[in-house]
Structure 1
Amino acid sequence: MNRIAITLFSALLIAPVAAIAESMMSEAPANADVYFVQPTDGATVDQTFKVVFGLRNMGVAPAGVEKAGTGHHHLLIDTDVPSDLSQPLPATDHVKHFGGGQTETEVTLAPGKHTLQLLLGNYAHVPHHPPVISEKITVMVK
């Protein structure tokens, strides 16, 4: 295949994927805010500790429920916000999904310094536009 044919072929493959990803994005109010109620930044916690999520100017709905102005929590542990926020968030040891609409959890971490951050996802685990992201906090596990 020549370069033009390859470029055209690639564009035909990528365009539908981009359109699907974009169609899964949901709008968030500009004043939406997600935050930690507990623990606070700099807290010293036991190896198993309670994490309570806060949300302003949006509602909580389970994954799979497509309702404007709602989403569900994802807890990022010792990781940064993914660079591509147009894709569903992966479920990993560092990205915990709360697709049932949970607003709190217990976390168990090894002793040492850890970072936590919240990222709201829509019905399909895709971050909103604009993304609703908390400040990153640090906890010290005993």
Structure 2
Amino acid sequence: MRTPLAAFTVVAALSAALGAAAAATPAPPGSYLYIGWPNDGQVVSSGKPIRVWFGLRNMSVAPKGVKFPNTGHHHLLVDTDAPGPGVEIPNDRKHLHFGAGETETTLELPPGKHTLQLVMGDDQHFTFAPSVQSKKITITVK
């Protein structure tokens, strides 16, 4: 038997989820995010930092907290999947934030296969709707 409290909890959770999706920052038309380097399938040497270059078209980059139309900042995902639209991007070893407006970085990864993907976040680290994300690439560190 459902209690009024349980029904309220379900309604509140659904309302919050719908509200978050509705509040997502709209993605600029024609926005295109990509990893300029390394290339998909690239083999890189271990023991030295791997340079990752971020590419973006039809959108601008600004630091976290700076809110302008059609503007966001980069997040590099390492060995994980991209979050959906209107979702706050986690901040951990698999979700690297570039809230100062950086357009490249260097990584040190252990030997093996790794996936890399970029996702744009708005001024508060939320994904756009639809999500502005690059193709996921795979590199091998030897």
Range into which the TM-score falls when normalised by the shorter chain: 0.7 to 0.9
Counterpart for residue 133 of structure 2: 133
Q: Supply the distance in 2 between the matched residues of 1:98 and 1:56 (Cα, whole angstroms).
A: 17
| CA RMSD across the alignment | 1.9
In the TM superposition, what is the alpha-carbon distance from 1:19 to its structure 2 partner? 6.2
In the TM superposition, what is the alpha-carbon distance from 1:10 to its structure 2 partner? 1.3
In the TM superposition, what is the alpha-carbon distance from 1:42 to its structure 2 partner? 1.0
What SS does the corresponding residue of 1:36 show, helix, strand or coil?
Answer: strand
What SS does the corresponding residue of 2:33 show, helix, strand or coil?
Answer: strand
Q: Supply the distance in 1 between the matched residues of 2:14 and 2:113 (Cα, whole angstroms).
A: 42
Task: Give the TM-score normalised by the residue count of structure 2.
Answer: 0.88
Q: Which ranges in structure 2 are unaligned for 5 or more consecutive residues? A: none
1:1-40 alignment runs, 5 A limit: 3=2, 5-11=4-10, 13-14=12-13, 17-18=16-17, 21-22=20-21, 24-40=23-39
Does the CA-based 8 Å contact 1:73-1:118 persist in structure 2? yes
1:55-134 alignment runs, 5 A limit: 55-82=56-83, 84-134=84-134
Q: Supply the distance in 2 between the matched residues of 1:39 and 1:15 (Cα, whole angstroms).
A: 41
The code of the aligned residue for 2:25 comes to S
Q: Which ranges in structure 1 are unaligned for 5 or more consecutive residues? A: none
Q: Supply the distance in 2 between the matched residues of 1:92 and 1:42 (Cα, whole angstroms).
A: 25
The code of the aligned residue for 2:2 comes to R
After superposition, the Cα gap between the structure-2 partners of 1:24 and 1:66, relative to the gap in structure 1 and judged at 3 Å, is farther
In the TM superposition, what is the alpha-carbon distance from 1:18 to its structure 2 partner? 3.5
Q: Supply the distance in 1 between the matched residues of 2:45 and 2:23 (Cα, whole angstroms).
A: 38
Does the CA-based 8 Å contact 2:44-2:50 persist in structure 1? yes
The code of the aligned residue for 1:56 comes to R
Structure 1 runs of 4+ aligned residues shifted over 6 Å read none
In the TM superposition, what is the alpha-carbon distance from 1:93 to its structure 2 partner? 0.9
Does the CA-based 8 Å contact 2:25-2:86 persist in structure 1? no
